[in-house]
Amino acid sequence: SRSIDLAVIPGDGIGQEVVTQGLKVLNAVLPQDVKLETKEYDLGARRWHRTGETLPDAELEALKNHDAILLGAIGDPSVPSGVLERGLLLKLRFAFDHFVNLRPSKLFPNTATPLAGRPEIDFVVVREGTEGPYTGNGGSLRTGTEHEVATEVSVNTAYGVERVVRDAFARAGARPRKKLTLVHKNNVLVHAGHLWKNIFDAVATEYPEVTTDYLHVDAATIFFVTQPERFDVIVTDNLFGDILTDLAAAVTGGIGLAASGNINPTGAFPSMFEPVHGTAPDIAGQGKADPTATILSVALLLRHLGYEAEAARIEEAVSADLAEREGKAARSTDEIGDALAVRVAS
């Protein structure tokens, strides 16, 4: 009999609320014969305030034994910037070698895009997750003086770039439009840029059916708002991917719908699924948060674990739910979760 052993990190702010709905829908969609076990980990701002810990080794070890991780949101204005990001969220991505940071962007029906004319938007960003300017490689000298020098080093390896580029080509090849765009800034960041471009071009020869394209990151932001329909799959560096996926979320109806997977495709470590949004402390605990991004992240989680039909059922339920909400009153976090749980079960 099948089973899923899931680690759950609700985190801070609206994290707990949205994760509750994600689990509700997960329970509703899973076939009877699949046994779901969950274990909650108390990590995030509250834990840090209480104990000073971000991610103790024992918990990092324990997390390794799960099939996957569902994360709500991490962070609070009361914690100095960088402490939880580097000490928890990025630590997990790096420790578990989540080299594919997968972020689909789709303009669902009845969602409020800021773009005039509602273009067709349906693309996926494959963001590298373990290299680039995110490595924490850098430092500062004469800190706090007028002679301070602070550096940040973007580290890019052929090994790291090739594996994510291969993943992106495979994903592009499996989609109807079969188009892959590399986004970088190889006219300025020439060393990293040439490494990315050379590997991209080399792998492309193995995928003759995939149409390829290159854009500088600055130009890519223009097309995100003027011609988002031109994109199918995008592969890019960790920092460019961070920037582009927030912009993508904004043009596809907001961060409340943007799902993501921090994936280790080799299966050596558990993959982690989380909404792109933050903890939204201003609305936490009020039942106002939209759990849809978390529920769509559960779909990515299911697909990663091989439950393709169930993943698709969640995505279709979200699409149908949004299509029918026109003119309806705003719903609570719980009501949205309930509505989607009913849809996926039936």
Could you tell me which residues are annotated as the binding site for Mg(2+)? 218, 242, 246
> For the window 187-216, what string marks contact with ligand IPM as x by the rule CB under 6 A?
xx----------------------------
**59-67, 179-187, 260-268, 305-313 -> range binding a copy of itself (CB under 8 A):** 179-187
Single-letter code of the amino acid located at 294? T
Answer yes or no whether residue 259 interacts with ligand IPM by CB under 6 A: no
CB atoms within 10 A of CB 238: 23
Pick what 157 binds: ligand IPM, a copy of itself, none; C-beta below 5 to 8 Å, kind-dependent: a copy of itself
Q: 3-class DSSP state for residue 27?
A: helix
Smallest gap, in angstroms, from Cβ of residue 129 to ligand IPM? 8
Question: Is there a catalytic annotation at residue 213?
Answer: no
CB atoms within 10 A of CB 153: 11
Choosing from 242, 290, 307, 321, the catalytic residue is 242
DSSP 72-91: EE---TTSPTTHHIIIIIHH
Question: Is there a catalytic annotation at residue 242?
Answer: yes
Show binding-site residues for substrate. Answer: 93, 103, 127, 218
From 86, 8, 80, select the one nearest 49 (Cα to Cα).
80
Smallest gap, in angstroms, from Cβ of residue 11 to a copy of itself? 15
Of 32, 187, 205, 346, the one binding a copy of itself by CB under 8 A: 187
Q: Classify strands 68-73 and 3-11 as parallel, antiparallel or unpaired.
A: parallel
> Which C-beta is closer to ligand IPM: that of 188 or that of 345?
188
Question: Is there a catalytic annotation at residue 134?
Answer: yes
Pick what 180 binds: a copy of itself, ligand IPM, none; C-beta below 5 to 8 Å, kind-dependent: none
Question: Is there a catalytic annotation at residue 97?
Answer: no
> Which C-beta is closer to a copy of itself: that of 60 or that of 155?
155
Token representation of residue 268: 């050596």
Choosing from 185, 232, 290, 321, the catalytic residue is 185
Answer yes or no whether residue 190 interacts with a copy of itself by CB under 8 A: yes
Interatomic CA distance for residues 138 and 151, integer angstroms: 5
Answer yes or no whether residue 195 interacts with a copy of itself by CB under 8 A: yes
Q: What angle do CA 142, 146, 149 make, to 5 degrees?
A: 45
Of 85, 162, 334, 335, the one binding ligand IPM by CB under 6 A: 85
Residue nearest to ligand IPM (CB): 85
Interatomic CA distance for residues 257 and 330, integer angstroms: 15
Q: What angle in degrees, to the nearest 10, is found between the helix axes of 333-345 and 292-304?
A: 40
Answer yes or no whether residue 89 interacts with ligand IPM by CB under 6 A: yes
Interatomic CA distance for residues 31 and 302, integer angstroms: 12
List C-alpha distances in Å: 14 to 21, 48, 101, 258: 11, 17, 22, 15
Interatomic CA distance for residues 196 and 177, integer angstroms: 23
C-beta of residue 20 within 8 angstroms of C-beta of residue 40: no
> Which C-beta is closer to a copy of itself: that of 82 or that of 285?
82
Choosing from 5, 67, 122, 246, the catalytic residue is 246
Q: What angle in degrees, to the nearest 10, is found between the helix axes of 15-29 and 292-304?
A: 50
Report the interface residues with a copy of itself, using CB under 8 A: 81-82, 85-86, 90, 113-117, 133-134, 136, 138-140, 142, 144-159, 162, 185-195, 197-198, 217-219, 221-222, 224-226, 239, 242-247, 249-251, 254-255
